[in-house]
Chain A
Amino acid sequence: MFQDDELIHEFVVESSSHLAEVEGQLLQIEAAGADIDANLVNTVFRGIHSVKGAAGFLGLTVVNALAHSLENVLNMIRNRELIPTSPIVNAMLRAADQLRSLVDNVSNSNSVDVSSFVNELEAIADGSGSDAEGSADPHEQVIENSGIETERAIDSYINYDAALLKDCELTPEAVVATPAPPTISKKAPSLPAEKPAMNQESGNSQAKQARPADAFVRVNVALLDRLMNLAGELVLSRNQLLSAVSIGAKEGLENIASRVDQVTSELQETIMQTRMQPIGTIFSRFPRVVRDLSAKLGKECSLEIEGNEVEVDKTIVEAMGDPLTHLIRNSVDHGIERPEQRADKGKQAMGTIRLRAFHQAGKVCIRIEDDGGGMDPAKLKAKAVEKGLITGEQASMMTDSESLRLIFAPGFSTAAAVTDVSGRGVGMDVVRTNIEQLGGTVDIESTLNQGSAVHITLPLTLAIIPSMIIGCAGERYAIPQSSIAELVRVPQADMETKIGRVKGAEVLRLRGALLPLVRLDSTLGLRTVDEHSERPKSANILVLETGQMRYGLLVDTLHDNEEIVVKPLGKHVKELGYLAGATILGDGYVALILDVVGIAMQCNLRNIESSVKDSISDEDDARAEEVHRLLLFANHSTEQFAIPMAMVARIERIKASDVRVIGNQKLLIYRGNSLPLIRVEESINALPPEEGVANLFVIVFRIVDREVGLIAPILRDIRDIHLNMDSKTLREPGVPGSTVIDGYTTRLLDLFELSRAKHPEWFVSEGVVEAAESEEMPTILLAEDSDFFRNHVQRTLESDGYKVVGAVDGQDAWDHLQTIFDDIDLIITDIEMPRMNGLELAKAVRSLAASSNLPIIALTSLASEDDQARGTQAGIDEYQVKMDPARLMDAVRRMLAKT
């Protein structure tokens, strides 16, 4: 009966692609309800119809019969004889599911009993037919229709055949008909929980699994044409190369080599593109998941999908199916509350889940957001302690975002009762592992009663990884760039101070923090620990970061960055945890690819990490100060200055002889522009630099829309420092305070004041004019717990004529606001403060009708995008970095002008 495997295969491919779309379309039809979109129904009808046609042609009677009854119902909807209610669409979805499983296992399809589906559909057709008044006898109509259908079906067989022929000839306009990658076939195993409810048919599940893994890719012909062209180019280049080599020509060789280089990289890129698939192929299954699950749980959810077109490597698309399904189900099950609960909270009864994919910085991000109940960090911690995952002591030290991450810990589940949907306590752990295996990361944010968001970052492809090649004990290894945060070189002289031991574990002191240190050679048993003592040379350390941990890896040498092609390892070595695969380097040498998580596991890093954490908490005094990233430099080697990194645009290395003196100004001619330079000793009391320095560094920063360079003869370090400033002892204009770092009295520089002292003319046009215009200067409420910063900002504001009311924390500011509300024109607030933090203050201010429009500027030390988003949500209008007075003043002026 089965004429030709080829033909059957074509049928499976084509039908699968039809059926893949049908599901989403049926859901749309359901959503539209009585307001029937004839075009949409027609599309579904045509899809089912061509399945039916081809099945009849191939003698697949069961497929044909089921498609036929589905078609009947669709026809009635199309003719508006039937309103597509939920039960009707349910029946149709079930039938479509069954149809798909028949198609997936086409060779056995004729022995499957589908009578229950057919009967159900026929009952629908009959039932509504009898309801519809004045219409023709439904049976007659059905028969009539099927008569027409048969005729049309015959037509379509012919068309179908023609299409086949066309494909065989590979005409350019046809999409190459390599069998499709029907992601649908994967769907069955991933939705085990809803199966009992959805499928009564027992033969169903086994039929679905019969489909082999997707071994084929659909490729756009245009892309294939490009590949052909490139292959042609490559052949040409090769011919040139061969002829050049055979006549021994030297001069043209370079050109040919660069041509080969170019063609090869283009070829590589294009081939990679053939592996790219829109992520929509997995997204398309989720409307159904959400619909079925929310119906089952008695919830109301809508799913918004964005970024269907975002393309990712096929392997990644496939591997993300299960983790995403799990996350979506979690959102419905745990995230979105029941309608009555939502009503109590004043939310819409209908919960919303947003699924978004987008490109960001060469990676693919997927975000799943819900506006559900959110998670309570305190509850998570309590649960984790109860389950023995963390100790009570650890819990008390965890920040909210750390506690949220607890849900990714193995054996953690927050569902009060374990349901069959989620809450088996394996899910999130597996999700994290799956994503990390793909080289991605996953993170979670949540606000109680407002919702949660899971953020996934994935690489575009797995086949080629940009990697750093490192050397250790005579071997070379590759480490994926994506997990390298930075490279640190510790010179021999600093070994003693930078590398220390905490409870027997080695640690690296990096910008004031302690980082667990792993020696690659002893971890892999390449050298014993004793051998290290003999060679205290300088150390090359890679700071590695995975979603879960951060550590330093000490290696012998750093080689190049290379784009490596991952090769699988043989069975004998595959199971070594520290290995992620192997690659062949340019010289033919096999380099092993190190697995960053695997290495950490190999040396039980978790233990080291926790002991480091302990020791840090021992060292720290109870009062937590904010961390600032400071650039440390020296003018004269006995002194040290600091500048907040946030203000530094970039650092240039110049020759001392490049500095020109014109009039009383120092300038650096640089990229065709002249950069005004200032020297520390010209503006404040400082020693001039030592003579005879040939190379200088220039710290470039922006002030009042112009770039200015500060000469820094000696750069010392970049450090994250808990600022504890003395704002009295060494105070002078340009130096707001001082602190002791590494035994040096370090003066913090205010670049704004420094530049103003040297070039008052730059600042003339501002502030002063405005002060003249308005009779009374606006009053600003300033909330900041650090005396140093409060005084500093207050001085800056007052120097421009503003009135400033200082508050020592959010609560204090709030109290002030109650009493002198009418006088306040603007609020500037720190974020991290005791009693009431900046976010809480902003929320409180916004909650009052009278102050809902009061501008709020937040000052932070390090503002990430996430922080900013949270701030915006709380009602903060703008973020400004601390210690950048110029920009703060600018923002203040802008905000006040608006009101």
Chain B
Amino acid sequence: MSTEKNTNSGIVQYTTFYCDRSLLGLDISFVQEINRNLDLTRVPLGHPCVRGVMNLRGEVVTMLDLRTLMGLPKSPNTIRNRNLILKCEGETFGLWVDGVADILTIGSQDITPTPSNLSLVDSRLIRGVYQTENKLVMLVEPRELLAASLTGIRAAA
């Protein structure tokens, strides 16, 4: 692909996925894999956003619930739910999302700043917004996501 290694023009591939009805995007270089593994071990007394831990080929990986992280109520599992396995700052963790949409290649010039009226999320988590023909994609900053989830846990503890 022409976008590979082409950092000068600021072109990045994003995995897009759903959280409730909103479409979010994550830099694909942080996404290790996408699976639909439901074999979770519950972690009692853990933070509500921790769905459990999972065996990812011999590694024990924590699974987080995206809806809870975003301050939304949990919803029942559907056939479309997926695990995004992310690796960020040495920490591997999973994100339970409401379904994976598409992979988009977006140049930095096409990204607009976060609109201030987005009530859904803490604006810190969002790098910016990308407008497709009929949809709005919010681009998530993975480092902020990890930090926010950890501070949420520490605050609760």
Contact = CB atoms under 8 A, between A and B. Distances in A.
A592 B55 contact: no
Given A524-B45, A526-B44, A568-B60, A573 B55 contact: no
A569 interface: yes
Interface string A670-714: 000000000000000000000000000000000000000000000
Nearest to A602: B45
A474 to B, nearest CB: 8
A592 B45 contact: no
Contact of A590 (B60, B91, B153, B154): B60
A554 B78 CA distance: 36
Contacts of A589: 39, 41, 55
A590 B149 contact: no
Contact of B53 (A571, A575, A590): A590
B4 interface: no
Contacts, number: 69
A591 interface: yes
A568 B61 CA distance: 9
A569 B62 contact: yes
B125 interface: no
Interface string A555-576: 0000000000001111111011
Contacts of A573: 43, 46, 50, 53, 62
Contact of B43 (A568, A571, A584, A592): A592
Contact of A576 (B41, B43, B60, B91): B43
A764 to B, nearest CB: 67
B55 A525 contact: no
B112 to A, nearest CB: 32
B41 A572 contact: no
Contacts of B49: 572
A578 interface: yes
A584 B55 CA distance: 7
B93 A590 contact: no
Interface residues of A, number: 23
Contact of B62 (A525, A570, A591): A570
A475 B42 contact: yes
Interface in B79-134: 91-93
A861 to B, nearest CB: 42
A760 interface: no
B40 to A, nearest CB: 8
Given A576-B46, A584-B60, A588-B55, A570 B41 contact: no
A567 B91 CA distance: 14
A582 interface: yes
Contacts of B153: 572, 575
Contacts of A569: 53, 60, 62
A592 B46 contact: no
A578 B157 contact: no
Contacts of A524: 44-45
A592 B53 contact: yes
B64 interface: yes
Contacts of A571: 62, 91, 150
Name, among B43, B50, B91, the residue most crowded by chain A CB atoms within 10 Å (CB to CB): B43
Contacts of B59: 567
B41 A591 contact: yes
A571 B91 CA distance: 8
A881 B39 CA distance: 55
Name, among B44, B50, B64, the residue most crowded by chain A CB atoms within 10 Å (CB to CB): B44
B54 interface: yes
B19 to A, nearest CB: 18
Interface of A: 475, 524-526, 567-573, 575-576, 578-579, 582, 584, 588-592, 602
16 contacts: A475-B42, A475-B44, A524-B45, A525-B45, A568-B60, A570-B61, A570-B92, A572-B93, A573-B50, A573-B53, A575-B153, A578-B45, A584-B58, A584-B60, A591-B41, A592-B41
Q: Which 4 A-B pairs have the closest CB atoms?
A: A570-B62, A524-B44, A590-B41, A567-B60
